[in-house]
Amino acid sequence: MPVIRSKLSEVMEKHDPNLSIRRLAKEVNYHFDSVRRMYKNEMVQYPRDLLLKLCVYFNVQPGELIAMDAEDNDWAIDRSNDYEEDSDDKESGKNGNL
C-alpha cells in the first residue's frame, strides 16, 4: 500500500546540514512541535500554511517536501469499496420523484 511521507529531513540536510528543527521553526515562525513531527515523518495531515512557509524558505515545490512511496513493490489500489449504486439512489415512485 502506498504511503505519503515527509522529505523535510532530506531537504534540510541538503540546504544546511547544521540547520536544527528548532531554528527552522523559529525562522519560518511556526510551532516547533509541528515542524518536528513533519521532520520525523509523524504528521498525519500537512497544514497548507506550513507547507507554504517551508516552500518559500527552502525555495522548493511541495512535491520536494512530501512524496508518495510504495511500502513494497507489490501494492495495488484496493477498489473493493468503489462506488456501487444503491437502490435508494435510483428514482422511485410512480411519478419519478426521489
Q: For 13-30, how does the pLDDT look when each residue is reduced to its tens digit (9 = 90+)?
A: 999 999 999 999 999 999
Helices (H), the chain: 8-15, 21-28, 32-39, 48-58
In order of their start, the domains of the chain are 2-70 (1.10.260.40)
CA distance 45 to 21: 18
pLDDT at site 70: 84
Query: Mind listing the pLDDT tens digit for each residue in 49-89?
Result: 999 999 999 999 999 999 998 875 444 555 555 555 555 55
Residue in this structure with the C-alpha cell 512541535, named with its chain if needed: 33
Residue 1 confidence (pLDDT) = 85
User: Can you give the pTM of this predicted structure?
Assistant: 0.70
- Cell reading at 75: 501494492
